[in-house]
Structure 1
Amino acid sequence: MRRVALATVIAAVSGYLVLLIAARALGAEGYAAFAVFWAAYGLVTGTQNGQLQETTRAVRGARISGADGPRPMPLNVAVGVGLALVVAVTSIGWAGAVFEWYRIESVVLLAAGVAAFGIYAGLGGMLSGLGRWGPFATLLIVDAVIRLVLTVIAAIAGWGLLAFLVMTIAGTVSSAVVVLCLRPARTALGAGGDVRVPELARNTVTAMAAALASAVLVMGFPVLIKLTTSGDLDSVAGAVILAVTLTRAPLLVPLNSFQGVLISRFVENRDRVLQALSAPLLIVAGVGVVGAVAAWLIGPWLLETLFGADYRLSGSTIAALTIGAMAMAVLTLTGAMALAIGRHRLYAAGWWVATAASIALLFIPADLEARVSIALIAGPLLGMAVHLWAVRSRSADHVSAERDGDRPLPAE
Structure 2
Amino acid sequence: MVVRHGVACAGCAAVTDAGTPTGPVTRGSVARVGAATAASALCGYAVLYLAARDLEPSGFAVFGVFWGAFGLVTGAAFGLLQEATREVRSAGYIEAIEGPRTHPVRVAAMVGVGAAALIVASSPLWAAQVFVEARWLSVALLAVGLAGFCLHAALLGMLAGLNRWTPYGSLMVTDAGLRVIVAAVTFMVGWGLVGYLWATVAGAVAWLIMLAVSPTTRAAARLLTPGGTATFLRGAAHSIAAAGASAILVMGFPVLLKATTGELGAAGGVVILAVTLTRAPLLVPLTAMQGNLIAHFVDQRTERLRALVAPAGVVTGVGAVGVVGAGLFGPWLLRTGFGPEYLADGALLAWLTTGAVAIALLTLTGAAAVAAALHRAYSVGWVSATVASTLLLLLPLDLETRTVIALLCGPLVGIAMHLVALAKSTR
Normalising by structure 2, what TM-score? 0.91
1:178-327 matches, within 5 Å, as 178-230=210-262, 232-327=263-358
Aligned-partner residue type, residue 350 of structure 1: G
> Aligned partners of 2:102, 2:128: CA distance in 1, in Å?
41
Specify the alignment match of 1:342 in structure 2. 373
Identity %: 48
Please name the residue that 2:127 is paired with: 95
Q: Could you tell me whether the CA contact under 8 Å between 2:365 and 2:418 is conserved in 1? A: yes
Give the deviation of 1:341 after TM superposition: 0.5
CA contact (8 A) 1:127 1:136 kept: yes
Provide the C-alpha distance between the structure 2 equivalents of 1:176 and 1:12, rounded to a whole number of angstroms: 21
Question: Relative to structure 2, which stretch is displaced further, 59-68 or 157-166?
Answer: 59-68
TM-aligned CA deviation for residue 63 of structure 1: 2.4
Q: 2:78 aligns with which of 42, 49, 63?
A: 49
**CA deviation digits over 1:366-387, x for unaligned, max 9?**
1000000000000001110000
Find out whether 1:9 has 2:41 as its counterpart. no
Whether the 8 Å contact between 1:56 and 1:260 is mirrored in structure 2 is yes
Q: Equivalents in 2 of 1:22, 1:137: separation in Å?
A: 25
Amino acid at match of 1:39: G
1:110 equivalent to 2:142? Answer yes
Deviation (angstroms), 1:364: 0.6
Measure the CA separation in 2 of the matches of 1:234 and 1:352. 28
Asked if 1:60 corresponds to 2:92, the answer is: no
Match of 2:411 in 1: 380
Residue identity matched to 2:199:
M
Deviation at 1:275, TM superposition (A): 2.0
In structure 2, relative to structure 1, the CA distance for the partners of 1:67 and 1:152 (3 Å cut) is farther
Distance, in Å, in 1 between the alignment partners of 2:224 and 2:258 is 42
Count of aligned pairs: 395
Cα displacement (A) at 1:195:
2.6
Is the aligned partner of 1:135 residue 2:167? yes
Supply the AA of the counterpart residue of 2:131. Answer: F
Root-mean-square deviation (CA), in Å?
1.0
Q: Which amino acid aligns with 1:135?
A: P
* Superposed CA offset, 1:345-394 (max 9, x none): 00000001100000000011110000000000000011100000111111
CA contact (8 A) 1:346 1:387 kept: yes
The Cα of 1:67 is off from its aligned counterpart by 4.8
**Structure 1 gap segments, 5+ residues each:** 397-412
Contact 1:67 / 1:193 at 8 angstroms: preserved in 2? no
Of 70, 84, 93, which residue of structure 1 is paired with 2:102?
Answer: 70
Asked whether the 8 Å contact 2:102–2:232 carries over to 1, the reply is no
Structure 1, 168-177 or 270-279: larger mean CA deviation: 270-279
User: In 1, distance between residues paired with 2:344 and 2:411?
Assistant: 23
**TM-score, length-scaled by structure 1:** 0.94
Q: Which secondary structure state, in structure 1, belongs to the residue aligned with residue 227 of structure 2?
A: coil
Counterpart contact for 2:303–2:426, Cα < 8 Å: no
Q: CA deviation at 1:73?
A: 1.3
CA distance in structure 1 between the aligned counterparts of 2:237 and 2:95, rounded to whole angstroms: 24
Instruction: Tell me the residue number matched to 1:408.
Output: none
Aligned 8 A contact 1:362 1:375 in 2: yes
Displacement of 1:26 after TM fit? Answer: 1.0
Q: Distance in 1 between matches of 2:366 and 2:226?
A: 21
Note if contact 1:63-1:130 (Cα within 8 Å) is conserved in structure 2: no
Contact 1:146 1:170 in 2 (8 A): yes
Distance 2:395 2:310 in 1: 36
Q: Which amino acid aligns with 2:254?
A: P
User: Is the counterpart of residue 390 in structure 1 residue 421 in structure 2?
Assistant: yes
Structure 1 contact 236–312 (Cα < 8 Å) conserved: no
Distance in 2 (CA, whole Å) between partners of 1:107 and 1:13 is: 27
The whole-number CA distance in structure 2 between the counterparts of 1:306 and 1:215 is 26
Q: Which moved more, 1:62-71 or 1:325-334?
A: 62-71
Amino acid at match of 1:358: S
Q: CA deviation at 1:18?
A: 1.1
Deviation track 1:321-347 (CA, whole Å, cap 9, x = no partner) reads 000001000000000001100110000
Q: Is the 8 A contact 1:150 1:167 kept in 2?
A: yes
- Residue type at the aligned position of 1:12: A
- SS of equivalent residue, structure 1 residue 117: helix
| 1:331–1:381 contact (8 Å) kept in structure 2 | yes
Residue type of the partner of 1:154?
Answer: T
In structure 2, runs of 5+ residues without a counterpart are 1-28
Give the distance between the partners of 1:198 and 1:349, measured in 2 at CA: 21
